[in-house]
Amino acid sequence: MVDRSRVLSVWRRTISLSWPIALQQTFNTLMRTVDIVVTGLFSPAAVAAIGLADLYAQIPLRIGLGLGTGAITLSSQDTGREATTTRDRAITQAILIGLLAGLPMIAVGLAISDSLIAVLGAEPEVVRMGGQYLALVFVAAPMRIVGLVGARSFQGTGDTRTPMAVNVVANGVNIVVTVGLGLGIGVFPELGIVGVGLATAVSRTIEAIMITAAIASAWTELSFARPQSLTITRQLVAVSLPNFAEGMSTSLANFPFNALLLTFGTEVNAAYHIGRRIYQQLAGPLYRSFNVAASIVVGQTLGDGRPDDARFSGLAMTALSVLTLGIAGVVLVVGATPIARVFTNDAETLTHAATFTRVFGVSMLFFGIFFPISGSLRGAGDTRTPFYARFTGTFGFMLGVSYLAGITLDYGLPGVYAGLVLSYAWWTVVVTAGFLWSDWADTAAALMDERRNLSE
């Protein structure tokens, strides 16, 4: 029989950790939503341009999230076992690696951004606008990665409010500058899509500076520490690489998937990005906050030497996630058309966008399970199981089934919708099996045993 008081205790802790993350993610997704809304005022081609450019912008995002996963895993476990010295060394190394990894992207963005958009088969106007936007996003790549890793480092200690405050300020600046430079409002010149990209670059730089200053200050628990151990480096890389590969498998699959959508027309491609933006704006802050909170709680509980409590906490957080995202899914299904109308007034684009939004709404049940379970596994240091889930699901169903049903069997867009839903269902099946039957608690114990041998 389930201990109700124990479940409620986990829920209260989850909510306490999650609401700052949810608010942070709300502003983060709002920033991207404003980008889509502003470019939607230009043309469907502008929406497609920013959507295609964002495929490449996933690279610095995935590097930051991958290294951030390593940082939050080690940070949460070392916080649980009160090993502050190794924790500070780990987060310092993660930030330095991230900064170095982002530097080559500056050259790539300035040199070949147009070609990267053109290779996807886009129309010339989409290539021109997408290349301009992408160049600016890549220039800010090192700052983007530093901001992400720094935020995850704080979250691993249980401090979800400091990164929230930093993110709200940075994204608030982004929103104001996007509207101002994109549309030429007030004292701002009208720069169109260049203004939207410039706003992103400015806000990411502000975010990186603020998060670095917060770590260096005496006001927060974290501190920078001189890296002295290759063991920490190896663990960071070992935990981060599968998470990076997991994210990149989805991002890389989006290239042929968008090419597939473009065969149905620019309006369909724009509609997909609108539907995707809608569900990420409404549900993204929720499932991402549950994902991070699960990593924090499970990692700290394992660090405190309580694997059974860690397993219970993961399941309790999943139950809360399913309830919350189930409600969000209903809103997406019922309100699809009026919500999509905010993003476009093109009739054909609106029709397809509403349908994509409903597809994502139906998928919220799977999101409600996948994200807290995968977060729990990452808190233990098991980043391979979520990678296997997303890799096989994305390529087998989102790409494979969508192409087979939509093109080969000539079902058209309904075949694409089926491929999307089935991919999310498969993600859920694989990570649930891994959580219930794999030895993730032993993985965490082995990582911590290695770090116990380091001088603290």
Residues 243-289: pLDDT tens digits? 888 888 887 888 789 889 988 988 888 889 889 888 988 898 899 99
The reported pLDDT for the residue numbered 454 is: 65
The reported pLDDT for the residue numbered 1 is: 57
What is the phi/psi pair of residue 103, to 5°?
Answer: -60, -45
Residues 427 and 366 sit within 8 Å (Cβ to Cβ): yes
Q: What are 148's two structure tokens?
A: 């992400």
111, pLDDT greater than 60: yes
Q: Where are the domains of the chain?
A: 4-452
Percent of the chain with pLDDT strictly greater than 70: 99
The reported pLDDT for the residue numbered 333 is: 94
Please state, in angstroms and as integers, the Cα–Cα distance from residue 27 to each residue in 245, 340, 345, 391, following that order.
26, 19, 24, 29
Mean pLDDT over all residues of the chain?
88
Instruction: State pTM to two decimals.
Output: 0.85
Q: How confident is the model at residue 362 (pLDDT cuts 50, 70, 90)?
A: very high
Distance CA 287, CA 273 (A): 19
The reported pLDDT for the residue numbered 265 is: 86
Residues 280-337: pLDDT tens digits? 888 988 999 999 999 999 999 998 889 999 999 999 999 999 999 999 999 999 999 9
The reported pLDDT for the residue numbered 195 is: 85
Distance CA 280, CA 331 (A): 13
Which of these, 53, 18, 59, lies nearest to 32 by C-alpha position?
Answer: 53
Residues 403-427: pLDDT tens digits? 999 899 989 999 999 999 999 999 9
